[in-house]
Amino acid sequence: MSRGATRIIEPISANFEQLVNQLAGGEVERHSVVSLFSGCGGMDLGFLGGFPFGGEFYDRLPFEIVWANDIDRLACNTYAANFGDDHLHRGSIVDMLDTLPESADVVIGGFPCQDVSINGSRSLGEGERTILYEQMIEVVRRTRPEVFVAENVKGLLMSHGKPFFDQMLADFSLPGYTVSHKLYLAADYRVPQMRERIFIVGVQGDEPFSHPEALDDRMTAKEALEDLESASEDKDTSHVWSKAQRSPEQGDRRLKADKPATTIRAEHHGNVQWHYRLDRRISLREAARLQSFPDDFDFVCAMRATERQIGNAVPPVLAWHIAKAVREHIDPERV
């Protein structure tokens, strides 16, 4: 069982919004969060908590998303369907800076990574998308959060990306902040996927951030997906799958039942992984499960847009463990 998560005895049927409203009703101080490059909301869901996944319930955390932004129209539609849009600012972050709150307790964001991804252009600091991390730094300068959390791909640590990553760390090391980073394997935190991502965390003061330790067990693809094996296609639950034929390498990759899935990609043109047992590719809902989204998370777009949203997302369960560590850093006396 995940540390701090609660084992589910009875199935939970309440939708996410009802759960959040119910669990947020107590007299608990909420820490304000500004969310950048929010996508469909994987990291936001992790910071909020209050959701079931894989037979466990990830407790509500004392955070409130007060401002969120993304430029992708369809991702914003999914975000709004699950979190509401009162705090959502659609469009380029460059055009939205003046709408920021004056201050925030936490700033989070997974800035676009295609320019450093192994499967991307590797244009590094010259890439228009990856240099958006500079906008995240500007948001930190303006809001002076107690903690900021930035997520990106493993490619930053490889030989082609290391000089750029070193510069990035230097840029994030703003006066008054202690900055650290860790390469996380999502499978180490009960996400059924061998996804590796870097998290850069900056905290005010000299006390370093304590990154959460890996857990003792991993969830396999079969554990995550077995109950859907006999389910028919259903657009209402996003249990629909690509009919793309077999193709070399990535397009012919089959899951292994007794292991976590390989990384769910955002851009695969329908060539998502094959089911470990069935003669079909995995469905959108199955891909979402492998990313640790609860089943009541509603993807409101067509197949290709939903594939991108799922593949680009930060796994909510991984984000929850990081958010829990952020809470412990901010409120050590309440742990």
Task: Please give the domain boundaries of the chain with CATH numbers for all domains.
Answer: 6-218+315-334 (3.40.50.150)
E strand intervals along the chain? 6-7, 31-36, 51-53, 56-58, 63-70, 88-90, 106-109, 147-153, 177-185, 196-204
pLDDT score of 11:
38
Please state the pTM of the whole predicted model: 0.90
Range in 27-31, 92-96, 140-144, 300-304 with the lowest mean pLDDT? 27-31
Above 50 in pLDDT, residue 266? yes
Each residue's pLDDT tens digit, 39-95: 999 999 999 999 999 999 999 999 999 999 999 999 999 999 999 999 999 999 999
Hunting for tokens 């077995």 — which residue is that?
A: 226
Structure tokens at 76: 């914003």
Beta strands 196-204 and 147-153 are: antiparallel
Kindly state the percentage of the chain with pLDDT values over 90. Answer: 77
Q: How confident is the model at residue 130 (pLDDT cuts 50, 70, 90)?
A: low
- What is the distance between the alpha carbons of residues 129 and 132, in angstroms, rounded to a whole number? 6
Each residue's pLDDT tens digit, 309-332: 999 999 999 999 999 999 999 998
Which residues are known catalytic residues? 113
Each residue's pLDDT tens digit, 205-256: 999 999 999 999 999 999 999 999 999 999 999 999 999 998 887 789 999 9
pLDDT score of 7:
56
